[in-house]
Amino acid sequence: MEDKIIAENELGDWRRSHYSFQISNSVINQVVTVIGWISSRRDHGNVLFVQLRDRFGDTQILVKKKELSETIFESLKSLKEHSSIAIRGRVVEQKNSSNEFEIMPEEVKILSVSNKSAPFLTQAISSIGIDTRLDLRAIDLRRNHLQNVFKIRNTILNSIRGYLSDNYFVEVNTPKMIATATEGGAALFPIFYYDREAFLAQSPQLYKEQLTMAFENVFEIAPIFRAEPSRTNRHLSEAMSIDVEKAYVDYNDMMDYLDNLIRFVIQSINEKNQMELKSLGIDLPDMSRPFSRITYSQLIENLQNSHKYIRWGDDISPKLLKDVFGDEFYFITDWPASTKPFYVKSKKMDLLTDSNTGDDSHVLSESFDLMYGSLELSSGSTRINNKVNLMDNMKKKGLSHKAFDYHLRVFDYGVPPHAGFGLGLERLLMAILKLDNIRDATFYPRDIDRLTP
């Protein structure tokens, strides 16, 4: 049987009078206007039960054939999920519940019609593969599961901004089109910038360091771009980074700030998102103790004592960390200077003797990574604020002084001691909500295989 053609109405002068959460005892027997999309419907012949979804939740619409024109009733009866409608009607109590309300429509506007059956159930975690879901991401984001995820994401962003602002940080914006690599890596996206080559920014690092000269304490929440050819469930080519930089402190101070920031975020979620947490079945991480700290050298020794094959100076794979740490926040500190970018300060007189080679030239750095289990969430450090030392470190890393002249020149004017960190928003959300795939922590993910939608 072919679908009937349903006429769509103009919005005209209709405007919403109430959101779903405002339908309560205070408006019983009043005429209200609600607008949204159909999340589900039940057809009982001459009676329809329609769930109308707005940004806060569902309102039940009780549609009786005998109380509407046949044209309007048949149109509503034919509508599929995801169609948008506006209802003007009277609020009544549901007969089978003393605490719920529904609306009996007196007028209806059909604003947009869904021509296909819903590809996903809005009430459940979808069994459809993530790539299929991402092809229709706007529809996917209507599912209850992701609605809850992104409401919590919104709380995270608001709480971070609130915490940093209350601690005298200034929110800044830095260029996303740059002339040279921030960290000297190869993982860059080149772009055409008028008549020359430029790159998408991997990090706001050098700019936020410079801004400490003017504002002391700065932060930025913005996208970063990494051309890493990775297909893991924890990597994105475009991610949101929370970058923080503060003058007159070192990396120990910044670990304290980051610890307190995460605690504030968890507290805010606990206060504002109980319904979402319950729906997701999530218990928030335990925040009763400060995050533990273990040095890189101590961790390597522990792994070696556990018969793991790893040498001092190696990166530490997530697989190795899974065997050591559970679902907890912790810092790995004092990484080898050779593994860190050129702007990271080395620890004075801190050398380590490699038991395998006898080499005592392994310089440590004033650096840290914040981890949750085996997932890296943040990296931070004390930065080099002496021009000669910075230039020496750039030379060791094989970087051209000329390429970074725009940055080096400000060091002639006394850059203050400073430290900071970058925190991945999607990874933080992944850790807190135990998401399996980082692509469900961002609206429209970009990775090695996906450039649309």
Which pLDDT score, from 0 to 100, does residue 392 have? 95
Q: Which residue positions form the known binding site for Mg(2+)?
A: 376, 379
Q: Which residue positions form the known binding site for ATP?
A: 226-228, 234-236, 376, 424-427
Which pLDDT score, from 0 to 100, does residue 333 have? 98
Which pLDDT score, from 0 to 100, does residue 218 have? 98
pTM of the model: 0.91
Distances in whole angstroms, Cα of residue 341 to Cα of each of 181, 196, 208, 245 = 11, 26, 15, 16
List Cβ neighbours of 194 (8 Å cut-off, separation of 6 or more).
Answer: none
Kindly state the average pLDDT of the residues 330-350. Answer: 91
How does residue 183 score in pLDDT terms, banded at 50, 70 and 90?
low
Which pLDDT score, from 0 to 100, does residue 48 have? 94
Kindly state the average pLDDT of the residues 73-98. Answer: 89
Residue 399 above 60 pLDDT? yes
Kindly state the average pLDDT of the residues 67-81. Answer: 90
Which of 10, 11, 76, 12 is CA-nearest to residue 42?
76
The rounded percent of the chain whose pLDDT value lies above 90 is 79
Which pLDDT score, from 0 to 100, does residue 354 have? 46
Residue 353 above 50 pLDDT? no
* 384 vs 327, higher pLDDT: 384
The number of beta carbons lying within 10 Å of the beta carbon of residue 407 is 20
Which of 371, 384, 382 is CA-nearest to residue 424?
371
List Cβ neighbours of 8 (8 Å cut-off, separation of 6 or more).
Answer: 110, 111, 112, 113
Residue 1 above 50 pLDDT? no
Which pLDDT score, from 0 to 100, does residue 357 have? 42
Q: Which residue positions form the known binding site?
A: 183, 226-228, 234-236, 376, 379, 383, 424-427
Of the listed ranges 50-54, 151-155, 347-351, 392-396, the least confidently predicted one is 347-351
Residue 97 above 70 pLDDT? no
Which pLDDT score, from 0 to 100, does residue 345 have? 97
Q: CA-to-CA distance for 31 and 71, rounded, in angstroms?
A: 22
Which pLDDT score, from 0 to 100, does residue 185 have? 58
Kindly state the average pLDDT of the residues 4-31. Answer: 89
Residue 2 above 80 pLDDT? no
**Which tokens go with 326?**
């559970």
Which pLDDT score, from 0 to 100, does residue 119 have? 78
**Which tokens go with 237?**
């080519």
Which pLDDT score, from 0 to 100, does residue 149 have? 97
Residue 223 above 80 pLDDT? yes
Which pLDDT score, from 0 to 100, does residue 211 have? 98
Residue 89 above 60 pLDDT? yes
**Which tokens go with 155?**
């709380």
Which pLDDT score, from 0 to 100, does residue 356 have? 46
Question: Which amino acid does the sequence have at 96?
Answer: N
Which of 244, 241, 240 is CA-nearest to residue 255?
244
Of the listed ranges 126-140, 184-198, 293-307, 342-356, the least confidently predicted one is 342-356
Residue 143 above 80 pLDDT? yes
Q: Which residue positions form the known binding site for L-aspartate?
A: 183, 226, 379, 383
Long-range CB pairs of 443-449 (<8 Å, 24+ gap) are 443/137, 443/141, 443/150, 444/137, 445/134, 445/236, 445/238, 446/236, 446/237, 446/238, 447/230, 447/231, 447/235, 447/236, 447/237, 448/228, 448/229, 448/230, 448/231, 448/237, 449/231
Domains and CATH numbers, the chain: 20-112 (2.40.50.140), 138-441 (3.30.930.10)
Which pLDDT score, from 0 to 100, does residue 120 have? 73
Report pLDDT digits (tens) over 256-306. 999 999 999 999 999 999 999 999 999 999 898 899 999 999 999 999 998
What's the chain look like in SS3? CCCCCCCCCCCCCCCCCCCHHHCCHHHCCCEEEEEEEEEEEEECCCEEEEEEEECCEEEEEEEEHHHCCHHHHHHHHHCCCCCEEEEEEEEEECCCCCCCEEEEEEEEEEEECCCCCCCCCCCCCCCCCHHHHHHCHHHHCCCHHHHHHHHHHHHHHHHHHHHHHHCCCEECCCCCEECCCCCCCCCCCEEEECCEEEEECCCCHHHHHHHHHHHCEEEEEEEEECCCCCCCCCCCCEEEEEEEEEECCCHHHHHHHHHHHHHHHHHHHHHHCHHHHHHHCCCCCCCCCCCEEEEHHHHHHHHHHCCCCCCCCCCCCHHHHHCCCCCCEEEEECCEHHHCCCCECEEEEEEECCCCCCCCCEEEECEEEEEECCEEEEEEEEECCCHHHHHHHHHHCCCCCHHHHHHHHHHHHCCCCEEEEEEEHHHHHHHHHCCCCHHHHCCCCCECCECCC
Residue 231 above 90 pLDDT? no
Which pLDDT score, from 0 to 100, does residue 8 have? 84
Residue 355 above 60 pLDDT? no
The rounded percent of the chain whose pLDDT value lies above 70 is 93
Which pLDDT score, from 0 to 100, does residue 121 have? 72
Mean of the per-residue pLDDT values for the chain?
91
How does residue 314 score in pLDDT terms, banded at 50, 70 and 90?
very high
Residue 221 above 80 pLDDT? yes
How does residue 39 score in pLDDT terms, banded at 50, 70 and 90?
very high
Q: CA-to-CA distance for 210 and 392, rounded, in angstroms?
A: 19
Of the listed ranges 29-38, 180-189, 326-335, the least confidently predicted one is 180-189
Residue 4 above 60 pLDDT? no
Residue 381 above 60 pLDDT? yes
